[in-house]
Amino acid sequence: MSIEPVLARVDRDLDASLKRLFEFIRFPSIGADSAFNKDTRACAEHLAKDLKTMGFDATVRETAGQPVVIGHRRRAGKPHVLFYGHYDVQPVDPLDLWTDPPFESKVIELDGRKVITGRGSCDDKGQVMTFLEACRAMIAETGDLPISLSVMIEGEEESGSTNLPPFLEANAEELKADLCLVCDTGMWDPNTPQITSSLRGMLYEEIIVRAADRDLHSGMFGGTAQNPIHILSRIVTAMHDENGRILVPDFYQGVHETGDNRKAQWEALGLTEEAYLGTVGLKYAAGEKGRTLVEKMQARPTCDCNGIWGGYTGEGTKTVIAGEARAKISFRLVHDQDPVAIQKNFRAYVESMIPADCSVEFIGYKGSRAVQVREESPELKKAITALKAEWGTEPVILGTGGSIPIVGDFKRVLGLDALLIGFGLDDDRVHSPNEKYDLKSFHKGQRSWARIIAALGS
Amino acid sequence: MSIEPVLARVDRDLDASLKRLFEFIRFPSIGADSAFNKDTRACAEHLAKDLKTMGFDATVRETAGQPVVIGHRRRAGKPHVLFYGHYDVQPVDPLDLWTDPPFESKVIELDGRKVITGRGSCDDKGQVMTFLEACRAMIAETGDLPISLSVMIEGEEESGSTNLPPFLEANAEELKADLCLVCDTGMWDPNTPQITSSLRGMLYEEIIVRAADRDLHSGMFGGTAQNPIHILSRIVTAMHDENGRILVPDFYQGVHETGDNRKAQWEALGLTEEAYLGTVGLKYAAGEKGRTLVEKMQARPTCDCNGIWGGYTGEGTKTVIAGEARAKISFRLVHDQDPVAIQKNFRAYVESMIPADCSVEFIGYKGSRAVQVREESPELKKAITALKAEWGTEPVILGTGGSIPIVGDFKRVLGLDALLIGFGLDDDRVHSPNEKYDLKSFHKGQRSWARIIAALGS
């Protein structure tokens, strides 16, 4: 099959595909807010209907939360691919910071680039449509796809995909495939595609340290009563040594050293601390001593206190000794680190720092393991070749520091390896006002997917 | 002069004196809340009028804030005493936790004791009236007071006495006296009077640590960006060593060791950690190792973090690295510690812990030195004898851990030593709903003041 007619079709149909994206964005499918349940469901139904027009056997499926859209376009004897994305979007407040209405998408000029405006224009409606429009062009031009394709587009990604793992388990037979494609990540830069080779896992814990059974007057009790803020500060401080190494016992079990070859590739990216951190007003990379910036960004585990509070936090002075203090602490995990073991060791470590007269309570949130893409798979090689053909440059193969826990569930429940390819850019403002998606990402992204699908089917 | 007829008059007039206290409490003189400015001023005017009925040359005097009530009843050749108290009261919210209306004072039975209800019943309207009713009985019975008396009752004690030091400075000539009496402290227990021999000073600082110029995603920046909560936790932790000693350089300059004699007196009080801390759900005294409980309560300096906050403090999880984090830190000072020097050393110490890429800002609040009552003064001896005669037991001479900064200003501006005697009890719930004052405190307090005034004038 020659890909050229399909690419020409993508080019020719760009305006029509844009109109379909605008229509998809128009649904305020804020899945996390039940006030939008009707719109969220309408969005799912719209999507299923659209899939049917492309010849998919598509259904809107119930979960305990928002529905999942499932579509199959099976071809016996062909490699079976499961495409994953989400149709729910983040809330839009503060609304007054939006220059254009968040659900009336259009193309505007921004800093010399053409961009698609609106909530979900990138995350993830734009990325989902980038893939589906590639399929549509291919079907229109060649009459079929060269692969057996199932799509699963969920409505709760922005609220933690709570109901998707049970859905996977209940429908494992139906959803089994050879490979999973995920289109929810980004490019290295506006001209260089990226294949995301790993995702960090996550462990999130809340700690409550309690001392006196009420807030105390520091004149009466200063110097005699335990101050839970002091104890909590000691705990947060005791998470790292002076070289930035994490001190939770056995924490580094399952962390692997990166090979020299891979490290050299990262060095070749030429990313400087000043370039990476300069965008947020910083200059010098913190964290573990003796590790390179790119290594720290995605191949090393971390521990961060994400929130701390206790005592008087209003204006002026109040001489109080708090009865309790709280902190939220999260770990990003890599390679084979086990969140269950780390949670256990973390809690024991914290408990060892609680003096008599004080107590600690933990609130645990769901942990997830890191995800590693198989490095030497034929599918990965095909995707590399396809992306290079489209963009004229070798794609960057690099992990991301973030976490997409559901990808771990694909592996665990369905035994599926994932290929994470996306066309978002660092300045897309996903989750913020004025989210956008470059028209070039949408256009060349479709062409990229067409090439990848053709390669996977060959 | 025999004191017995005056004491009999106090006993006889108790109901009438109670009625006058109820009337005083009826004004909602919440000086810190400008919505109550009219009531606060009406309260001051009521008080001045009442002083006039007792033969005082009384006036309501303006400041930049709430007015001060000044009254003089001078007698040439007699020791001149300045009595200090305040007519402003704390706010009453949460109102629904009050069993009886806060400004409709009455006597009720509580745990077998008769108590006076209402906001200000103890702090400080009840204590002020305890003194003034003693004067009234003495004047009624003997025609005069044996001392030259000035009273200064302010309206901003609960909001930091902001405008009183300039008032003292502007009226120093008029207010000069031989001794200052302060009636805003407590008894050792319901049967044992106390003379407060020292007040701790105070230094209060707010720290803001800043890193990135916005909140960051911990997936993107975890392991590479400075986390200001970690830095702030290190700072709070670095305030104390493992023995509870404060690590700010030169912090202990001006702190004196307590003599063995005095320590033995404290030991004889028989106060156990369990008794003192048990009331707030604790058992073991924290703070400096190797110091006794009573020493730590009032003769040693302290450092407490009174509030800390940064990052995500809502429900559930948010994987954010905060742009800034804040803490409020206060020091209680003793003896000759200098708050100005300590502020300078504290700030330099904190700055030494701020890494490149981060910055720190300080918000400083007014500091005050500790106040020490002259131990061997004849006035102190007279007060001890008078209190022993009334209560049948030696009064406890002990410092308090709290601070009344204005007492330091009396010394600084007017050169006045203070004698701090009060009849509040630990369970009076000052500053809280259901504030009360024991009828016994009001009654025997008047008798105590009558004896003290007689002794001071002899």
**A207 neighbourhood in chain B, CB within 8 Å:** none
B345: left (phi over 0), alpha (psi -120 to 50) or beta: alpha
- C-beta of residue B25 within 8 angstroms of C-beta of residue B103: yes
Q: Which residues pair with A115 in a beta bridge?
A: A108, A438
**Residues B162-210: pLDDT tens digits?**
899 999 999 999 999 999 999 999 999 999 999 999 999 999 999 999 9
For residue A38, the number of C-alpha atoms closer than 13 Å in the C-beta half-sphere is: 1
Of the candidates A214, A226, A308, the beta carbon closest to that of B229 is on A308
- The mean of the pLDDT values for chain A is 95
Interchain contact, B282 vs A357, CB within 8 Å: yes
Calculate ∠ Cα A448-A449-A452, nearest 5°.
90
Q: Do A355 and B293 touch (CB under 8 A)?
A: no
Is B219–A400 a contact, with Cβ atoms under 8 angstroms apart?
yes
The predicted pLDDT at position B16 comes to 98
Question: Which of A300, A308, A401 is closest, CB to CB, to B220?
Answer: A401
Give B118-162 pLDDT, tens digit per residue: 999 999 999 999 999 999 999 999 999 999 999 999 999 988 898
Answer whether A405's CB lies under 8 Å from B219's CB. no
Identify which of A233, A287, A322 has the shortest CB distance to residue B237.
A233
Q: Which of A322, A327, A324, A321 is nearest to A350 (CA)?
A: A327
- Please give the structure tokens belonging to residue B257: 């060791």
Say if residues A163 and A65 touch (Cβ distance below 8 Å): yes
Residue A366 confidence (pLDDT): 76
Q: What is the pLDDT of residue A452?
A: 98
Work out the mean pLDDT of chain B and round it to a whole number.
95
Locate the chain A residue with the closest alpha carbon to B313.
A307
Q: Does B212 sit within 8 Å of A297, measured CB to CB?
A: no
Min Cα distance B56 → chain A (Å) is: 35
Determine the Cα–Cα distance for residues A265 and A355; give it in Å rounded to an integer. Answer: 48
Q: Give the closest of A280, A319, A326 to B214, CB-based.
A: A280
Please give the pLDDT value at position B376: 82
Q: Which of B218, B280, B287 sits opposite A223 (nearest CB)?
A: B287
**Where do we find the tokens 């897309």?**
A428
- Measured between beta carbons, the chain A residues lying within 8 angstroms of B239 are 230
Among B305, B324, B331, B332, pick the best mutation site for testing chain A contact (most A Cβ within 10 A): B305
Residue B181's H or E segment, with its range, is: strand B179-182
CA distance A400 to chain B (A): 8
| Pairs of residues, one from chain A and one from chain B, whose beta carbons lie less than 8 Å apart | 261
Smallest Cβ distance to B305: which of A229, A304, A330?
A229
Dihedral angle over CA of B310, B315, B318, B324, nearest 10:
-10
pLDDT over 90 percentage in chain A: 86
Instruction: Find the CB nearest A305 among B224, B230, B302.
Output: B230
DSSP state of A186: B
Using the beta-carbon criterion (under 8 Å), do A219 and B403 form an inter-chain contact?
Answer: yes
Which residue of chain B comes nearest to A403, CA vs CA?
Answer: B219
Q: Using CA atoms, how far apart are residues B418 and B415, in angstroms rounded to an integer?
A: 10
- Residues B421-451 have pLDDT tens digits of 999 998 998 888 899 999 999 999 999 999 9
A370-408: per-residue pLDDT in tens?
A: 998 887 899 999 999 999 999 999 999 999 998 888 898
Cα dihedral across residues B329, B330, B336, B338: positive or negative? positive
Q: What is the pLDDT of residue A300?
A: 97
Find all residues with CB under 8 Å of A412, minimum gap 6, and list them.
none
Separation between Cα atoms, residue B230 and residue B219, nearest integer Å: 17
Q: Residue A281: which of B212, B304, B400 has the nearest Cβ?
A: B212
Distance from the Cα of B173 to chain A's closest Cα (Å) equals 33
CB B159 within 8 A of CB B31: yes
- In the predicted model, what is the mean pLDDT of residues B40-57? 98
Cβ distance B322 to A311 less than 8 Å, yes or no, reads no
Chain A residues in contact with B297 by the CB 8 A cut-off are: 220, 223-224
The domains found in chain A, sorted by start residue, are 4-199+371-457 (3.40.630.10), 201-255+301-364 (3.30.70.360)
Q: Do you find a cis peptide bond into B91, omega within 30 degrees of 0?
A: no
- Answer whether B223 sits within 8 Å of A296, measured CB to CB: yes
Check the CA dihedral B57-B60-B64-B66 and report its sign.
Answer: positive
Angle at A234 between CA A228 and CA A240, to 5 degrees: 150
CA distance B188 to B185: 10
Give A390's contacts (C-beta < 8 A, 6+ positions apart): A193, A444, A447, A448, A451
Structure tokens at B214: 């916005």
CB B146 within 8 Å of CB B80 = no
3-class DSSP string for A264-281: HHHHHCCCCHHHHHHCCC
Tell me what the mean pLDDT of segment B240-262 comes to: 96
Which residues in chain A touch residue B310, judged by CB atoms under 8 angstroms apart? 307-309
Q: How confident is the model at residue A108 (pLDDT cuts 50, 70, 90)?
A: very high
Task: Look at residue B75 and tell me whether its pLDDT is greater than 80.
Answer: yes
Residue % of chain B over a pLDDT of 70: 100
Among the listed ranges A218-227, B140-149, B371-380, which one has the minimum average pLDDT value?
Answer: B371-380
Distance CA B56, CA B53 (A): 7
The pairing of beta strand A148-154 with beta strand A80-86? parallel
Chain B nearest CA to A438, separation (Å): 21
By three-state DSSP, how is residue A153 classified?
Answer: strand
Collect all residues of chain A within an 8 Å Cβ-Cβ radius of residue B401: 219-223
pLDDT digits (tens, 9 = 90+) for A46-96: 999 999 999 999 999 999 999 999 999 999 999 999 999 999 999 888 888
Largest CA distance in chain A: 84
pTM of structure: 0.87
In the block, tokens 């994953």 appear at A84
ipTM of the prediction: 0.88
- CA separation for the pair A194, A259 (Å, rounded): 20
Cross-chain Cβ contact B236/A226 below 8 Å: no
What is the pLDDT at residue A334? 96
Q: Mark yes or no for CB contact A332/B237 under 8 Å.
A: no
**Pairwise CB contact (< 8 Å): A300 & B237:** no
Classify residue A270 as exposed, middle or buried by CB count within 10 Å of its CB (0-12, 13-18, 19+). Answer: exposed
